[in-house]
Amino acid sequence: MKSFDAIVIGGGQAGPFLAARMVEKGMKVALIERKFLGGTCVNAGCMPTKTLVASARAAYVARNGAVYGVNLPGEIAIDMKVVRARAETVTMNARNGLIGWFAGMDGMTVIYGHARFEDPKTVGVNGETLTAPRIFLNVGARPVIPDLPGINDIDYLTSTSIIHLDTLPRHLAVIGGSYIGLEFAQMYRRFGAEVSVIEHGPKLASREDEDISDAIADVLRSESIDIHTGVSDIAFARSSDGITVATDSARIDASHVLIATGRKPNTDDLGLDAAGVITDKHGYITVDDKLATNVEGIWALGDCNGHGAFTHTSYNDFEIAAANLLDGDDRKLSSRILAYALYIDPPLGRVGMTEKQARASGRKIMISTRPMSRVGRANERGETKGFMKVIADAETKKILGAAILGIEGDEVIHGIIDAMNAGTTYPALQWSVPIHPTVSELIPTLLGDLKPV
């Protein structure tokens, strides 16, 4: 049996950085990764997909160059092999950077293999037994594959496998109208594929307010993406030239099918029962406000604990654990204000409560909206789709939440994120003097139009 001061299972966006901090403190740490360092973000999520989004954006701008007085001869051609290679290069650079970083750390042992608990302090991997008083789980999540008629008879894609495509689908059917599915839908439409989105729920991006969801659908439809919502029945069958996707309202002749119906935590094969670690009904590991599980000496970080499925929330889990365990701080999960983005174009930046959540909270609230067509920068760039929306507490004057669907919305939202984290009231933010011409300059005007509801 090999003894360590700490064992980290999973090489995503929380565990490796915590491991590095512990090594800096002179601890002996084992980092166990089943496949690739970097987790979903580096290998199958943010980095490769946003690289693909950038290629799709370049194709879109080239096709629409004439609007700006830039005329390109002939049709815009997409070389999917180059597109794929570019995304793969970004991934490999990041992955290899982590490998090199850890290789230079005395006290760090990186083990590739499938770890399983044997008891609360003992882990087995590759036929060896490791023990430590502290064990951190950062095992991430994977795509959910629903049990739909005919699904096992077709060769479907997931968000992991689609990034390796080096040919252009004739017609891509996206099953699932949430964040991952919508990003790939617009991306492949811009590459030149016909695209259909099939969503079981009544609207796209069901977490959002109805006006935001409707605006997202308008953006996608404006690029000739076929959208089907409220679909109750879906079945698949092989056809002579691809895959037939049959629903209760349509029959789609697809060449490729992307299953984008959510993700589930990688917790079902860790031997959690042997350690006594409790999970909820969805398989997420139950943690307290400091990310500790019900078993002393075991913590769960990142996607597997169900408190955010984003790279930035996973990294914040690392920050909370490191601050509390290594720096004598008292940071809590409940202090985090959730923010995220949807990377269609234009992007959606979101923070805090939706209008629906704010109304349900029983507070007296104020709301303001402004179309992106009122933003000078948006007009100058010829990108006026979308709108801004902010919700505030009428009594405390604190901002409760905001959504910015529009050009640079994923960046502009950070001014509101920072204000919310600092506890700044909206009247104080209203008197800021933003730079002109920027998208952010409309924020004071947006706040000045807050009205009670």
Domain boundaries, the chain: 2-142+264-335, 151-261, 339-452
Topology (CATH) of 2-142+264-335: FAD/NAD(P)-binding domain (3.50.50)
Q: Does residue 201 come out as left (phi exceeding 0), alpha (psi in the -120 to 50 range) or beta?
A: beta
Proportion of the chain above pLDDT 90, given as a percent: 98
If you average pLDDT over every residue of the chain, what do you get?
97
Q: Residue 418's pLDDT is what?
A: 97
Residue 324 — very low, low, confident or very high, per pLDDT cuts 50/70/90? very high
Q: What is the pLDDT of residue 154?
A: 97
Q: What is the pLDDT of residues 104-136, one digit of tens each?
A: 999 999 999 999 999 999 999 999 999 999 999
The answer to whether the 2-142+264-335 and 339-452 domains have the same CATH topology is: no
* 2.40.160.20, 3.40.630.40, 3.50.50.60, 3.60.21.10: CATH of 151-261: 3.50.50.60
Predicted TM-score (pTM) of the model is 0.96
Residue 321: band (very low, low, confident or very high) from pLDDT cuts 50, 70, 90: very high
Q: Is the pLDDT of residue 274 over 90?
A: yes
What is the distance of C-alpha 382 from the center of its chain? 28
pLDDT at 354: 98
Residue 249: predicted pLDDT: 87
User: What local confidence, expressed as pLDDT, does residue 251 receive?
Assistant: 95
Res 41 pLDDT > 90: yes
Beta strand extents in 248-342 (DSSP E only) = 251-254, 256-259, 263-265, 298-300, 339-342
Of the pLDDT bands very low, low, confident and very high (cuts 50, 70, 90), residue 174 is: very high
Look at residue 213 in the predicted model and tell me its pLDDT: 98
Question: Top-level CATH class of 339-452?
Answer: alpha beta
Residue whose pair of structure tokens reads 């990294």 in the numeric block: 315
| pLDDT per position as a tens digit, 15-35 | 999 999 999 999 999 999 999
Residues 225-252 have pLDDT tens digits of: 999 999 999 999 999 999 999 999 899 9
Q: What is the spatial distance between Cα 372 and Cα 219, in angstroms, rounded to a whole number?
A: 13
- Which residue in this structure is represented by tokens 């959504």? 403
Residues 299-323 have a mean pLDDT of: 97
Residues 152 and 159: their CA atoms lie apart, in Å, by: 17
In 248-353, the DSSP E strands lie at 251-254, 256-259, 263-265, 298-300, 339-342, 348-352
142 pLDDT tier (thresholds 50, 70, 90): very high
